[in-house]
Chain A
Amino acid sequence: MSDQALRTPFSERAGAALRDTSLQQALTLATTKFIGLRKEAFATYPQGERARDQARAIKEATLQRLDHYLNMLADNVERLGGHVHWATTGEEACETILRICRECRVKTVVKSKSMATEEIELNEALEHAGVTPIETDLGEYIIQLAREKPSHIIAPAIHKTRGQVADLFSRVLKGQFPADPEVLTAVARKELRQKFLQADMGITGANFAVADTGTIVLVTNEGNGRMVTSLPRIHVAVMGIDKVIPSMTDLMFFLGILARSATGQKISVYTTLVRGPRQPGELEGPDEFHLILMDNGRARQIASELREALYCLRCGACLNVCPVYRQIGGHAYGYTYPGPIGILLTAMLKGDRAVKDLAHASSLCGACQEVCPVRIDIPRMLIELRQRLDRERIAPLAERVLFKTFAQVLTTPALFRLAATLGRLAQRPFVRGGRLQNLPLVFARWTKGRDLPPVAARTFSERWRELR
């Protein structure tokens, strides 16, 4: 989201999303479907729970020796003839890619879906340098045509109804297309085929990178990822350093749970394993292969409260079940990664100040943790994050004073009783038919949308005497 859009307070961005009826329709439909598919997939996968534990343990162990596995990965990629580039920041990653573009005279780039490249705003950087990036994942293609950002980690155009996509295609691609997903997909395929053939470079992310074989793993459903890695003469893969795993054996645990968590599939339609550039005797594959190992704020979190967020597989399951995400969608969050895990990743990548309000965009219901394939304790980390906001004095002064006063009341029974008495007095003018409907000041935040029972005429503590 642009800086200007981010100046609108989060609560207003959320409010706008709540009033957007087609967004509401699209979100309910898609998230409900994803939830059902995931549930069904794990119900028929008895090894699932163990695989989740195993996958979590692998992530834990890998982070313990992250430098070791990254070096192993880099060595193996280079041994296969690939080039490895280390990038501390997103800008560095973009610069590296632009340099390769300049050196190899790249005019057109085809991309498969990658959150890492969204994170570093690579498309903007490429366009700025006169290189044309073309998204080839259908959802990404849709939002690129609409000049928007993804609103879901795996379903970037989840906020759009099929009718909106038909209108978009008709307008931009100059035709008359019906709101029929099959027709629209065929239209996109035809448009994209030409682009694939023109492209000088293919850019992908990486779902996993296997250290001991130097393999980049891409999990996709449309086959575009495979074409991106094999048709153009150069392949660049951009990955966060959290994506490395030790071995192919480890990979099996992840593949079993990733697609099930994301889309309810046993395995995605395409699982593409890429090892370096085209080897002697091979018929397909690029002349050059580049791997960008990007930190961009990750490494410093290894020892922080947010450490577990580095286990994230980017499956999107926590978004689908999050009551907040299901109401407001991804754009309202304002950053690349939406939903409960997105709040943590945003804190990681953009700093705590960026999540001053977002840290509270959760009822802490725990549904996210329950579905997370690697059981990331997202609610706990949101609470930790809130604690940091107080400690770093990022939380508003008024809030901090309020909560500290509140603590004083809760530790002083006489004050607690006084608060009850004051509440009873103050509510008097507002009680109608045994309920409060129209409270002023901050209390209006409750009564705007629901009633409140009045403070009881006699609290339980006061009634206890006659109950003994």
Chain B
Amino acid sequence: MTGPIRASLMVTCLGDLFFPEVGVAIVRLLRRLGVTVNFPPNQTCCGLPLFNSGYHREAARVARRTIPLFGASEHVVVPSGSCAWMVKKEYPGLFRDDPELAREAEALARRTYELSQFLVKVLGASRVGTSFKGKVTYHDSCHLLRGLGESQSPRTLLGNLEGVQLVELPGADECCGFGGSFSVRLPDVSTSILAKKIANVEKSGAECVVACDAGCLLQMAGGLSRKGSRVRALHLAQVLAGPDEP
């Protein structure tokens, strides 16, 4: 029996609070591709900010809550490479002393995908059939690129999109300077790394810089807007989703 593919959206804390439109775009896009989407309630955060700052017991508490929320999910789709990395690569290790939870964490890790990887590798939808007008460039989020080894899927999706002229971003694989709590622990260093990124974005001549991570978007959009730049920072889903259904 093959029914429609089902996916649960893990919207992430930044996605929920700051970029709800990204979540909306993902739902629209996935439905367009025939996926049945659900949204398990009471989601908060994957715990990555706690984990990266060294608060692993606390991160494990968050993970212990998150894992059963998605216990019944066929696939879990995450809009941010860093949060997907957390679930896929770090959740199991948090439960070294609890084999049962470790097994559940591993099972969740296997079912969890960053959005672009889900589209290309699970759905086989490297052409999503929508269109977007303009010159765009792509910023590699560190965790998606180096953590999950993904650089091609987002570029393929963008390159195949009707109306899009994809240009390569100089230093695309260099960090934008966000780094979670790093951005407020060392704000001056963080923003000077950002200044380099913004300069490269402007050098690319693109009207829009696309990323697959809410952290990078928060950082790059913040820098562009402060500078009064006309370049927009958008999530991949916002570019791919196409216009709202009438």
Q: Does B41 contact A (CB under 8 A)?
A: yes
A248 proximal to B (CB < 8 A): no
Query: Is A450 within 8 A of B191, CB to CB?
Result: yes
Most buried by A among B15, B175, B226: B175
- Asked if residues A367 and B174 are in contact (CB atoms below 8 Å), the reply is yes
Contact (A11, B186) CB under 8 Å given A404-B58, A460-B15: yes
Type the 1/0 row for A350-370, where 1 means its CB is closer than 8 Å to any CB of B. Answer: 000000000111111111011
Segment with Cβ contacts to B, from A63-71, A109-117, A380-388: A380-388
Partner of A367, one of B43, B175, B187: B175
A304: interface (CB < 8 Å): no
Given A327-B192, A464-B39, answer yes or no on A410-B50 (Cβ-Cβ < 8 Å).
yes
**B52 adjacent to chain A (CB < 8 Å):** yes
Q: Does B188 contact A (CB under 8 A)?
A: yes
Residue-by-residue, is B76-91 near A (CB-CB < 8 Å gives 1, otherwise 0)?
Answer: 0000000000000000
B174 adjacent to A366 (CB under 8 Å): no
A313 at the interface (CB under 8 A from B): no
| A449 and B191 within 8 A (CB) | yes
- B145: chain A residues within 8 A (beta carbon): 366
Is B50 in contact with A403, judged by CB distance below 8 angstroms?
yes
Q: Is the CB of A323 within 8 A of B43?
A: no
B242 close to chain A: CB less than 8 A: no
Secondary structure at the B interface, as helix, strand, loop or mixed, is helix
B43 to chain A, nearest CB (A): 7
| Given A360-B185, A404-B58, A450-B222, also A455-B18 (CB < 8 A) | yes
Return chain A residues, CB-CB under 8 Å to B133: none
Please, which residues of chain A bring their CB within 8 A of the CB of B132? none
Q: Which of A363, A407, A450, A468 contacts B50 (CB 8 A)?
A: A407
Question: Cβ of B219 and Cβ of A450 under 8 Å apart?
Answer: yes
Within 8 Å of chain A (Cβ to Cβ): is B154? no
Which A residues are within 8 Å of any B CB, using their own CB?
Answer: 11, 14-15, 18, 323-324, 327-328, 359-367, 369-370, 383-390, 395, 403-404, 406-407, 409-411, 413, 416, 420, 423, 435, 437, 442, 445-446, 448-453, 455-456, 458-464, 467-468
Residue ranges of B at the interface with A (Cβ–Cβ < 8 Å): 11, 13, 15-20, 23-24, 27, 39, 41-45, 47, 49-56, 58-59, 61-62, 65, 142-143, 145-147, 173-175, 177-194, 218-219, 221-223, 225-226
* Top-3 shortest CB links A-B: A363-B179, A386-B54, A449-B191
Write 27 A-B pairs (CB below 8 A) sorted by A numbering: A324-B186, A360-B181, A363-B179, A363-B180, A364-B142, A367-B174, A385-B54, A386-B53, A386-B54, A389-B54, A403-B50, A407-B61, A410-B13, A410-B44, A411-B61, A411-B65, A413-B42, A416-B13, A423-B17, A445-B187, A446-B184, A449-B190, A450-B191, A450-B226, A460-B24, A461-B11, A467-B24
- Beyond A18-B189, A453-B221, A456-B18, list 11 extra A-B contacts (CB 8 Å): A11-B188, A323-B174, A366-B143, A366-B145, A367-B142, A390-B55, A407-B61, A458-B20, A460-B11, A461-B41, A467-B24
